[in-house]
Structure 1
Amino acid sequence: MMIVSSVLDEKSGNGINNMADRGNMLPGHTETDNLNQNKDTVFFRDGVRRIDFVLSYVDDRDGEKKQERRKQFEANLLKAGLELETEDKSDSDDGKTYFLKVHAPWEVLATYADVLKIKVPFKASDMIHTQEVPLEWLSRPFRLPERVMRPEPDYFTSPFDKGKIDFFLINDKETFFPPSTRNRIVYYILARCPYYKEDRKEKDKKGIKRLLSNGTYTAAFPLHDCRYWKRARNTECESERYNLYRHWAGFLSFYKEQPLNLIRKYYGEKIGIYFAWLGFYTEMLFFAAVMGVICFTYGVLSYDDNISSKEICDADIGGSIVMCPLCDKKCSYWKLNSTCLSSWQSHLFDNEGTVFFAIFMGIWVTLFLEFWKRRQARLEYEWDLVDLEEEQQQLMIRPEFEIKCTGRRLNRITQEMEPYLPATSKCARFCLSGATVLFWMSLIVACIIGVIAYRLAVFAAFASIMKDSPTRKIQLLGSLITPQLATSVTASCINFVIIMILNFFYERVAIWITDLEIPKTHLEYENKLTMKMFFFQFVNYYSSCFYVAFFKGKFVGHPGDYTYMFGWSKLRNEECDPGGCLIELTTQLVIVMVGKQLWGNIQEALLPLMRNWWGSRKARNHPEQQYSRWEQDHDLLNFTQLGLFYEYLEMVIQFGFITLFVASFPLAPLLALCNNILEVRVDAWKFTTQFRRPVAAKARNIGAWQEILNVVAILSVVTNAFIMAFTSDMIPRLVYLYANHDSHEASMSGYVNNSLSVYNISQIPLYSQPEEGESPAWYNNQTITTCRYRDYRYPPGHPRQYAHTMQFWHILAAKLAFIIIMEHVVFVVKFFVAWMIPDVPSEVKARIKRERYLIQEYLHNYEVEKLKIQLSQSFTVDPPSHLRSSSEKCEVLSECL
């Protein structure tokens, strides 16, 4: 094939090859046909050479420097062997955008496939795939057509070697490398191609990424193969995007399996691994959601057996218990039965089934992680990722690292000189990065303290507003919206808004300090950014839940000796309801978790749709065939290098919600399941319709996210054990239950009265007493001399009045014992399950060994056959002089072979 070089226009610096293209038109085509051809194509104007990449730019009047950069860059691309073709701005929608189309010929593809060690087929696989699903008829409704699930045959593969072309199965050089591999190779060249003259070696002037950042080019992207809503007209062009949209991106396909092999073929292994993980996570959530619904149903069915709530709501029991004020000055005395509704709500989530569910989730997390390792190992084998070292990291040094690190040293492994970052510079950058992370995490903590101060400050205001009213209507409303509930809901909403605002800054800070560290490889860059962003998000999203779960109501003190925040008399620490703080933790969890998921879905679905609609508004009136493939993709959103990172981050944060605090809300896995069913299809819809085609990349696994999931899994066992012990009222109830040897119902009678201590109202300090006019109408200080509060302390008149009783220490010991027992039981089961389930299935191990053996055998036979041919040719052309007869020649030749 003739290589067509761009003729550089000295005036504009733009690549123009119209004359060359006219000379290379296909037979039977005229110039008029060429000008009126369908522009919705992925080929050059000759209809033969495939467009592997597209660069766009705007020819600014004052952009002489940019023109010079483009001229040098395109000249260097031509020297690298790439072929270019330019679309003039007069043919674009806006009349000012040029499109530079890039094609990689066979020689370039073969050279860089050898450099990147890309695996290609050399023999059709003869290994039999075992049936994974024994009852195939049951799974038939969930399956997709075989042509979609397996878009290409199964082959044995080996790293490409340009010197052994005839070893590989090459039927057609133009289609041997799939489009995803082609665009990956071209991007590798673009990322390292300089844009300076030969006589000026300026190391910092190289790579398309830098040209995009300084505005020389406005976009760089590979093309989608066709429109997503219809098949490609050209029979030689694939319709994989159409198949993905039809069988994967539609919401009506939510119950169908994902075409992972087609996703991998079209988008590359890195994106394929993400969707494989997301799909597997969603499948495993189904079992957690079912168990959570069962536990919640148990709480509903045992509603009438809740003796504690009955006592609280009873007019003779709860209605006769006068509680001490919950804040100073503005809060007055209140009756226990005013918390009737919240006590019933607490029982739905705080019951005997919650303990079982917390233990179940600890085991579920282990099963999820272990089974995912097995699924991942199977994908590594099927997708030729077993021997992959993450794109051969030594070959994939980031261009930014090469530019900024001027020093060079010998690599002990490759024995080649390579750039490196001095230890002193690395240490200084690391310290600055660590200090920045600590500063911003401290800022999160400061914001949380501010929200806590808000809770303490407004509680008194809500208590004053919602005090008892003689109007029954307001009384009923007050029973539904208590000061505690109003404070918790408003504080949760404010906290959610703060989280969203801080996220905006954290993303930029994390990227800035990661760039400051100058990671060597793309994998190292992503891992460092992942850890920083997760630390930020972990503190940002979970700190408020940790406060409610482990701090609220734990350091209150007692009437006459209350504890104040920072010693400020106006900020008295919050108390929990007599039913416990678990319902408030549930409220906090639901608002933050559901709010994040709703906001995330709006951002992922509506914003890209509106932006693309606005960006393509000028092209909607054009004839379909004149709306070129490169303009269609140019109007779409750019899928950045960190696009997949944010998808992982969203799911891992959700994973933390359903594991760290699941004991407070058993329905959390159900909400996550419903969200993820939508998430899979929304992400698929975005990738196929709203984003430009990403540059294909390889990845063996989910990277640093695997370690983060492992840490969250271990931490979840500890947090749920502490929630059950210190946030829930389960342990005090069990201690009271087993302290009485009567029947279950009889033994729980009197628990509410037992859990409340007595204080003498006359001993309440003046600064804590309710102000005049704040007391309810039923309060009479002549007849009511004591009030109750939530604690286990001796009553007034006792020799050790207001000191903790022995029951308090018994309950504390029971809580600590429960934590130790639960953690050990769950951890023992976790480690046993992890030991029992191999990370790599035995079948996959056998297949890997078999394939390696066959590769060695075929390579050996190939070399032997090649040697035979060389020896035969040498004997035929120039036989040894002492061999006279042909029989002697044949005998010696056979002995040599």
Structure 2
Amino acid sequence: MKEIDKNRTFQKRKQRREYFEASLMKMGMELEAARSVVDEKLLFVKVHMPWDMLCTYAEVLHIKMPIQPNDLCTTSSPFNFLSCITKHFYPSEDLIAKETEYFTAPFEKDRLEYFYVKDRDLFFTPSMRSRMAYYILSRAPYEVRGNIKKFGVTKLLDGGVYKAAYPLHDVSDECPNERYLLYNEWAHPKSFYKMQPLDLIRKYYGEKIGIYFAWLGFYTAMLALAAIVGLGCFIYGYTTQETSTWSKEVCDPLIGGNIVMCPQCDKECTYWRLNSTCESSKKLCIFDNYGTLVFAVFMAIWVTVFLEFWKRYQAELEYEWDTVEFLEQEEQPRPEYEAKCNHERINPVTRIVLILASVVAIIVYRLAVFFSFSTRLQSDLKELEPFKEYVTAQMATSVTASVISFVVIMVLNILYERVAIWITDFELPRTKTDYENSLTLKMFLFQFVNYYSSCFYIAFAKGKVVGYPGQPVYLLGKYRNEECDPGGCLIELTTQLTVIMGGKAIWNNIQEVLWMKNLIFRYCTRVGSEKVIPRWEQDYQLQPIGKLGLFYEYLEMVIQFGFVTLFVASFPLAPVLALVNNLFEIRVDAWKIITQFRRMVPEKAQDIGAWQPILQGVAILAVASNAMIIAFTSDMIPRLVYYWSFSVYPYGDHSSHTMQGYINNTLSVFDIQDFSNKKIFHAVSLSYFRYRDFRYPPGHHRQYEYSIYYWHVIAAKMAFIIVVEHIVYLTKFVLSYVIPDVPYTVREQIKREKYLSQVILHETNLKLSGIIPKAQIA
């Protein structure tokens, strides 16, 4: 029975294949079959498009072609005098000549003589040819039953009729071809310092691939400025850590050494002296200083400038690459949609509820996992190391918790990806574009929760509601709420960000190295066979690009963008790490796409799609996030309040402001006798401990309640957030208004091009009819 079913499937596939290939030949395609030299059971069908067919479908797809060279004067750059230096950072013009600028118009076959045709073989670029071929392949019928017509190579691939369909790469051994040039001037490690040949990338792979690498290159270039400022901020903090007043007071044996701090848990913890946190206090000063405040404001403005200038650059590319008036061709429904649309109809409200419920559930689950293992790890370390210095155990806990958190993130990535795909499949989007946009939003939301939830927890939740030593806060009446490390939550947040960003970069590089197996496999195949393997079979041995294309590359960079902007107030080195990673990322992605992947079907694209509003949303959130980190996670505001309000000497001279006594002022007093469990402290000779908070001392009529200083600090924090957000958002608004999305020169070129298109391609009808002579048409 199984043999009969197998034969029926084979015959059905054969019939569909024969009908499909016959349809292609009726439409004007030329087909050529070639047997595999490695596997005799494998047959390749090569598809060719003759010139006449290319012209026909160029008109059908409204492809813009050159009509005359650009005759508008271009403004010379004021930095032209540096060309003798900058030319070394561009691809060699001897190999990749600069593209000539043309005015273009939608191609019309009947007016071919008015288009700028030098060489028919070079008139249509390789990406145009591949796009036209795929357009035909996606519309050729393979089965007709009555009034129902089934068509499209995508459905044949899903049904197993064909194993693969892909455009061919250029033969890599022929040095003049475009693939060879891209490899040598773009993907090769020796060219890591050179600018990307975007026009050639677009010409070979299409606009959708070109716009990704244009965005990645622009983002990396903008990171250079942020990295310089962030590195300067880090150097400033590093050089001043020994001279800061509060770190010196902590390390002073007469000040910090005489301050005994309360235990931070109920049973295993013991008291500790403040000067035991000397090293962590110095490390904190590296990241928690006035330079960090300036850098956080700078990054809030930087992200606005980045997005605004990217819009301008994107507008230039839209004009140069002829996507200004690009209209998406009507997309065919996905095979999954056609298979189910007659049986299912998803309510839009149901979709929204399902997405929101999934996101909320993942947030709760993610925070529960992080809180559970960090609390248990802290307790276990104290039990295993009871005689070690308390702060050392705290630091070990912080680092270990960050490492385990990263491992959990990597594991949950797999789960969240499957959940996002499952929900998107359940929604049943009609077209590929709808599917990608829907998946993009959900995948980013899930990854946002996965990567950032632990950082948000440390920054805004941990140590914020802990009560005081005599009356700690318990969760579920059992688990004592976590307190920050003795050095503060900011150093924990910095540790968490360092481990996650560094670990993610290392993991991604390990995955990139795994692509070497593809290279080794092809080398072994070539060595083991004396036959010459043709180009199409070599390409078949390459990896398929996948249905989602560069989706995961975009996702990786956008997640990195979140780390660079959302938490930069606690980690000024984030732009530096991102810059170094991206310099490798561009070349590794280029190497993969040229040598390891089959050539992708070129696609048109005006912009980066659904990622653009996501970047804008992250940029808006980053302003509030960094303002709140400075206000609630760092000690910046308490220091400023103390400096300007509580540290003036009696004579009131402005120069009398000082930070001396700040540490003592930020520590409250707790009477040992007020502990509920006094047995633990029976051997302590002191009568009181200190703890980080602003509360009235024992004996006061409002003992252990928040002091007036606490409310001053809270008011200052809220005022800081409001003022900074308004200043930054106002600056963002002004910059958005001042920097136009479309440059003036591009607007003028678009107008000139429209005029020429109207004159040359429409008023020629008057010439053809003899109404006006040819000389009058300018």
CA pair 702-432 structure 1, distance change in 2 beyond 3 A: closer
* Corresponding residue SS for 1:101: strand
- Match of residue 594 from structure 1: 502
Kindly indicate whether residue 510 of structure 2 is the aligned counterpart of residue 618 of structure 1. no
Residues 371-770 of structure 1 aligned to structure 2 (within 5 Å): 371-389=309-327, 392-393=328-329, 395-400=330-335, 403=338, 425-426=345-346, 428=347, 431-432=350-351, 434-436=353-355, 438-439=357-358, 441-468=360-387, 482-568=392-478, 571-603=479-511, 605-614=512-521, 617-623=524-530, 626-738=532-644, 739-742=646-649, 747-766=658-677
Q: 1:129-528 to 2 correspondence within 5 Å?
A: 129-132=74-77, 133-135=79-81, 136-146=83-93, 150=97, 152-196=99-143, 198-203=144-149, 205-227=150-172, 230-231=173-174, 239-389=177-327, 392-393=328-329, 395-400=330-335, 403=338, 425-426=345-346, 428=347, 431-432=350-351, 434-436=353-355, 438-439=357-358, 441-468=360-387, 482-528=392-438
Note the C-alpha offset of 1:432. 4.0
Structure 1 residue 616, shift from structure 2 partner = 5.8
Rounded to whole Å, the distance in 2 between the matches of 1:786 and 1:819 is 36
Q: Deviations over 1:287-317 (max 9, x none)?
A: 1000001111111221222121122122222
**SS of alignment partner, residue 130 of structure 1:** coil
In 2, the alpha carbon distance for the partners of 1:464 and 1:331 equals 9
Task: Say whether 1:791 aligns with 2:693.
Answer: yes
Q: Is the 8 A contact 2:362 2:449 kept in 1?
A: no
Give 2:722's match in structure 1, choosing from 799, 820, 831.
820
Contact 2:627 2:724 in 1 (8 A): yes
Preserved CA contact (<8 Å) 2:300 2:728: yes
Instruction: Give the Cα–Cα distance (whole angstroms) in 2 for the partners of residues 720 and 515 of structure 1.
Output: 36
**SS of residue in 2 equivalent to 1:586:** helix
Please say if residues 92 and 98 of structure 1, whose CA atoms lie closer than 8 Å, have aligned partners that are also in contact: no
- The alignment partner of 1:838 has SS state of coil
Structure 2: how far apart are the matches of 1:348 and 1:770?
Answer: 40
Structure 2 spans left out of the alignment, 5+ residues: 1-5
Does the 8 Å contact 1:114/1:159 carry over to 2? yes
**Cα distance change, pair 425–342 in 1 and its aligned pair in 2 (3 A):** same
Which of 114, 122, 134 is the aligned partner of 2:67? 122
**Equivalent residue for 2:3?**
none
Give yes or no for contact 1:288–1:669 (8 Å, CA) kept in 2.
yes
Quote the residue 1:12 is aligned against. none
Report SS of the residue matched to 2:72: coil
CA drift of 1:561 comes to 1.3
1:289–1:68 distance in 2 versus 1, CA, 3 Å: same
Q: Distance in 2 between matches of 1:120 and 1:274?
A: 23
Instruction: Give the TM-score, by structure 2 length.
Output: 0.93
TM-score, reference length from structure 1 = 0.81
Question: Given the alignment of the two structures, is residue 780 of structure 1 paired with residue 723 of structure 2, yes or no?
Answer: no
Cα distance between partner residues in 1 of 2:14 and 2:162: 10
How has the CA–CA distance of structure 1 residues 745 and 461 changed in structure 2, closer, same or farther, with 3 Å as cutoff?
farther
Question: How far off is 1:382 after superposition?
Answer: 1.0
Higher mean alpha-carbon deviation, 254-263 vs 121-130, is at 121-130
Alpha-carbon separation, structure 1, partners of 2:96 and 2:475: 60
Please say if residues 670 and 691 of structure 2, whose CA atoms lie closer than 8 Å, have aligned partners that are also in contact.
Answer: yes
Amino acid across the alignment from 1:833: L
Shift of 1:122: 2.4
8 Å contact from structure 2 (residues 395, 485) kept in 1 = no
Residue 618 and residue 429 in structure 1: after superposition, are their counterparts in 2 closer, same or farther (change >3 A)? farther
- RMSD over aligned CA atoms reads 2.7
Q: Secondary structure at the match of 1:787?
A: strand
Q: CA deviation at 1:688?
A: 1.2
Distance 1:148 1:853, change over 3 A: farther
Contact 1:330 1:770 in 2 (8 A): no
Q: Deviations over 1:704-755 (max 9, x none)?
A: 1111111111110000000000000011111111121258897222211111
Q: Deviations over 1:368-396 (max 9, x none)?
A: 1111111111111111111112xx34x23
Say whether the 8 Å CA contact 1:325–1:770 is kept in structure 2: no
* Amino acid in structure 1 at the alignment position of 2:642: Y
SS in structure 1 opposite 2:270?
Answer: coil
Whole-angstrom CA distance in 2 between matches of 1:824 and 1:429: 37
CA distance in 2, matches of 1:744, 1:201: 91
2:740 to 838, 841, 844: 838
Taking structure 1 as reference, are residues 402 and 489 closer, same or farther at Cα in structure 2, changes over 3 Å only?
closer
Distance 1:700 1:591 in 2: 36
Q: What secondary structure, in the 3-state scheme, does the structure 2 residue paired with 1:99 have? A: strand
Deviation of the 1:454 alpha carbon: 1.6
Q: Is the 8 A contact 1:761 1:787 kept in 2?
A: yes
State the 1:179 CA deviation: 1.8
Whole-angstrom distance in 2 between the partners of 1:850 and 1:708: 34
3-state SS in 1 of match to 2:689: strand
Instruction: Assess, with a 3 A threshold, how the Cα gap between structure 1 residues 151 and 185 changes in structure 2: closer, same or farther.
Output: farther
Q: Cα deviation per residue 1:14-48 (whole Å; 9 max; x = unaligned)?
A: xxxxxxxxxxxxxxxxxxxxxxxxxxxxxxxxxxx
Counterpart Cα distance in 1 of 2:174 and 2:75: 33
Question: Contact 2:696 / 2:703 at 8 angstroms: preserved in 1?
Answer: yes
Instruction: Tell me if structure 2 keeps the 8 A contact 1:125–1:154.
Output: yes
Which amino acid in 2 is paired with 1:698? K
Closer/same/farther in 2, CA of residues 147 and 120 from structure 1, 3 Å limit: farther
Asked whether the 8 Å contact 2:643–2:657 carries over to 1, the reply is: no
* Cα separation, 2, equivalents of 1:73 and 1:505: 39
Deviation at 1:623, TM superposition (A): 4.5
Letter of the structure 1 residue corresponding to residue 74 of structure 2: H
Opposite residue 154 of structure 2, the aligned amino acid is K
Q: Is the 8 A contact 1:349 1:666 kept in 2?
A: yes
Q: Mean Cα displacement is larger for which, 139-148 or 747-756?
A: 139-148
Q: 1:851 aligns with which of 747, 753, 762?
A: 753
Secondary structure in structure 2 of the residue aligned to 1:195: strand
- Contact 2:672–2:688 (CA under 8 A) maintained in structure 1: yes
Match of 2:767 among 862, 865, 874: 865
Q: Give CA-to-partner distance per residue, 1:693-714, whole Å, 9 cap, x none.
A: 1111111111111111111111
